[in-house]
Amino acid sequence: MPIQCATSFQRLLLFSYNYETKAYRQSKWILKDGGFHFLYYDPLRKRLFGLRDKSTFTNIIEEYDTVTLDVIKGYTKQDGEKYAFPFAWCSSFDYNENWVIQVRTRFENPSVIAYWIKMDLNLVGKKEDIVTEFHLMPDVHNFLTMTYDIQKTKLILCTWQHGSIERNLFMFHLDPKKNGTFPYRNESLVMLFETSENQDIELMKDVWNPKKREVLFMIQTRNDETLKTTNYMLRVQFDTLNVLEKVQLTDEQLPLFELWEYFYLQE
Is 84:105 a contact under the CB 8 Å cutoff? yes
Stated as kind and residue range, the H or E segment containing 253 is none
Residue 30 has pLDDT above 70, yes or no: no
For residue 7, is pLDDT > 60? no
29 near 11, Cβ under 8 Å? yes
6: left (phi over 0), alpha (psi -120 to 50) or beta: left
Using alpha carbons, list the distances in angstroms from residue 94 to 32, 40, 133: 30, 10, 15
Asked whether residue 191 carries a pLDDT value surpassing 70, the answer given is yes
Q: Are 171 and 158 in contact (CB under 8 A)?
A: yes
Cβ atoms 148, 92 nearer than 8 A: yes
Is residue 32 within 8 A of residue 11, CB to CB? The reply is yes
**Which of residues 110 and 43 earns the better pLDDT score?**
43
Instruction: Say how far residue 8 (Cα) sits from the centre of its chain.
Output: 26
pTM of the predicted model as reported, rounded to 2 decimal places:
0.88
What is the pLDDT at residue 6?
45
The answer for residues whose C-beta is within 8 angstroms of residue 125's C-beta and 6 or more apart is none
Q: Is residue 16 scored above 60 in pLDDT?
A: yes
pLDDT surpasses 90 at 116: yes
Mean pLDDT of the region 217-238:
92
**pLDDT > 80? residue 225:** yes
Residue 215's pLDDT band (cuts 50, 70, 90): very high
Between residues 236 and 201, the one the model is more confident about:
236
pLDDT for res 189: 82
pLDDT confidence tier of residue 4, bands split at 50, 70 and 90: very low
Q: Distance between CA atoms of 121 and 101, rounded to whole angstroms? A: 11
Residue 174 pLDDT > 80: yes
Q: What percent of the chain has pLDDT over 90?
A: 51
User: How confident is the model at residue 112, as a pLDDT?
Assistant: 86
DSSP string, 173-185: EE-GGGTT---TT
pLDDT (0 to 100) of residue 224: 87
- Distance CA(65)–CA(53), nearest Å, equals 19
Banded model confidence at residue 181, pLDDT cuts 50, 70, 90:
confident
Strand (E) or helix (H) holding 83 = helix 80-83
Residue 5 scores a pLDDT above 50: no
Percent of the chain with pLDDT over 70: 85
pLDDT of the residue at 163: 59
Q: Give the separation between CA 231 and CA 162, rounded to whole angstroms.
A: 20
